[in-house]
Copies of this chain bind each other. A is one copy, B any other.
């Protein structure tokens, strides 16, 4: 019953046995938003706000929800003022995973056991900043302490990936790999798309006269990523695409868009679907994993979008989305020749996706409970369902979706503890022998993803 104690999130003895065997396994994280430049530079963090909150929209959102004005979140106030404001309402976050993650980070990596609240905010600010000034609290040192084996960042096809090489050279091994995320090329309806095409043209010294030029440029990028150790791509979509379209149709639409002509919703869909399919084709050729992050309805709150632009936390999940129609086509088109991970956002979609993943064999896998689902309730409910409908041993494993360096530790700890609790419960109920569930926990925490992602 101790806050974040040994048995944190684990309610049964078998679960505790299981957790002991997996808690120190190295971390493999095939999807994060780590800032690679930050790791290359390896400078000490100036303060706890920078490390704990400045870059993390998971934190921003709950602060806003508690009525903190934007100036104290992404705005003009000093980091100290922001931290103290956060501390002043932190008690209100009890029950939300941010409350647990922040305290975990504070304990596990800064050695501070104090509860964050209005009375302790100033003291934690002082002590944490002192500790963060130590040599062993720099990014590279922290990654070692967290026990990272391999993480994938999220990268645009035009990235040069020079920082990745620098990090790996500093570590003397491949600790970080890029992930190829062609969203900006695909999302033809986005305001920045046309300019992005110019950037693509410049980056690869290509003239983009047709859709074939664009796919050729992307193919060049794909090869470049492969040379830098990439083994996965990411696609973020509200609803997946079938990926099966006529290239001539796509070409006509592409040329229209290049001339800045207005496209219909249907045209945008055809183009996006075509390119989605083409990037999947590239993955199939190299046996990369194609990660589909589906569901988020983006930038729902105008106020945030106008003030901060995209990816500021104004996103929601939605049960009312038809994922099956396009996925059915897509999965059949790439049946057995493409490794796919399906990440979904609304819990209502999980049963369908579990039954679909089960049907399409071992190369199609369910991904971790993510974002609004990445909390003890969401993780537990998903795992109970995955095990029942699909096969636990084929689960794609945890990803951090990390927006800051420490998240790798706290997210994976939470996942491993919930997993231990769920499997432990099964042991206690006589659903499988404990020894087998210990093996399974290891597979689901480490060797399973390591093998599937070829990491």
Chain-B contact segment, one of A32-40, A118-126, A285-293, A373-381: A373-381
Give the residue of B14, B65, B360 whose beta carbon is less than 8 angstroms from that of A394.
B65
A283 CB to nearest B CB, Å:
19
List the B residue with the shortest CB-CB distance to A336. Answer: B303
Interface size on A, as a range, is: 35 or more
A39 to B131, CA, bound (A): 64
A170 interface contact, C-beta 8 A: no
- Judge whether A389 and B362 touch: CB under 8 Å: no
Contact in complex: B432, A335 (CB < 8 Å): no
* Residues A1 and B430 in contact in the complex (CB < 8 Å), given A94-B440, A314-B359, A394-B65: yes
Of the candidates B96, B376, B387, the one whose C-beta lies within 8 Å of that of A391 is: B96
CB pair A335 B303 closer than 8 Å: yes
Closest to A313 in B: B359
A3-18: CB near B (< 8 Å → 1, else 0) gives: 1110111110010000
**Nearest CB in chain B to that of A390: its residue:** B65
Taking CB atoms, residues of chain B closer than 8 Å to A372 are 351, 354-355, 388-389
What chain B residues lie within 8 Å of A183 (beta carbons)?
none
Across the interface, name the chain B residue whose C-beta is closest to A100. Answer: B431
Contact A428 B11 (CB under 8 A): yes
Known contacts being A323-B320, A361-B67, is A94 close to B352, with CB within 8 Å? Answer: no
Answer whether residue A437 sits at the interface, using C-beta atoms and an 8 A cutoff.
yes
Query: B residues within 8 A CB of A91?
Result: 436, 439
Interface flag for A266 (CB, 8 Å): no
Given A359-B301, A390-B65, A5-B94 contact (CB < 8 Å): no
A390 to B324, CA, bound (A): 28
Given the known interface contacts A94-B437, A335-B302, A388-B375, the answer about A316 and B355 at a Cβ–Cβ threshold of 8 Å is yes
Confirm or deny: A332 has a beta carbon within 8 angstroms of a beta carbon on chain B: yes
Bound-state CA distance A91–B443 (Å) is 12
A315 at the interface (CB under 8 A from B): yes
Report how far A454 CA is from B2 CA in the complex, Å: 36
Residues of the B chain whose Cβ atoms lie less than 8 Å from the Cβ of A11: 428-429
Quickly give the copy total for this chain. Answer: 3
Q: Which of A78-86, A184-192, A342-350 contacts B (4 or more CB under 8 A)?
A: A342-350
Docked CA distance A426–B361 (Å): 37
> Are B314 and A318 touching (Cβ within 8 A)?
no
B residues near A428, Cβ cutoff 8 Å: 1, 11
B62 touches A359 (CB 8 A): no
**Is A322's beta carbon under 8 Å from chain B?**
yes
Contact of A96 (CB < 8 Å), options: B351, B392, B429, B434: B392
Indicate if the CB atoms of A388 and B393 lie closer than 8 Å: no
**Nearest-Cβ distance from residue A11 to partner chain B, whole angstroms:** 6
In the complex, A7 Cα to B62 Cα: how many Å?
Answer: 33
**A92 within 8 A of partner (CB):** yes
Within 8 A of B (CB), among A313-338: 313-324, 328, 331-332, 335-336
Q: Does A209 contact B (CB under 8 A)?
A: no
The answer to whether the Cβ of A309 comes within 8 Å of any Cβ in the partner chain is no
Q: A319-B349, A387-B377 are in contact. Are A64 and B9 (CB under 8 A)?
A: no
Query: Is B317 within 8 A of A355, CB to CB?
Result: yes
A308 beta carbon closer than 8 Å to chain B: no
Chain B CB within 8 A of A115 CB:
yes
- List B contacts of A9 (CB < 8 A): 429-431
Q: Is the CB of A93 within 8 A of B352?
A: no
Of B99, B358, B433, which contacts A61 at CB under 8 A? Answer: B358
Q: Does A27 contact B (CB under 8 A)?
A: no
CB-CB under 8 A for A324 and B297, given A356-B316, A359-B315, A361-B67: yes
A378 and chain B: residue at smallest CB distance: B388
Q: How far is the CB of A31 from chain B (nearest CB, A)?
A: 20
Chain A to chain B contacts (Cβ below 8 Å), 14 pairs: A1-B428, A2-B430, A9-B429, A9-B430, A64-B361, A66-B393, A94-B436, A96-B388, A302-B332, A316-B352, A319-B348, A320-B324, A375-B388, A375-B389
Apart from the given pairs A94-B393, A301-B335, A377-B384, 15 other A-B contacts in the complex at a CB distance below 8 Å: A61-B359, A65-B394, A66-B393, A67-B361, A92-B393, A93-B393, A94-B432, A96-B388, A297-B328, A300-B328, A313-B359, A317-B355, A319-B348, A320-B322, A375-B389
Which 9 A-B pairs rank lowest in CB-CB distance, beginning with the nearest? A95-B387, A92-B393, A8-B430, A375-B388, A95-B392, A94-B432, A316-B355, A67-B362, A377-B388
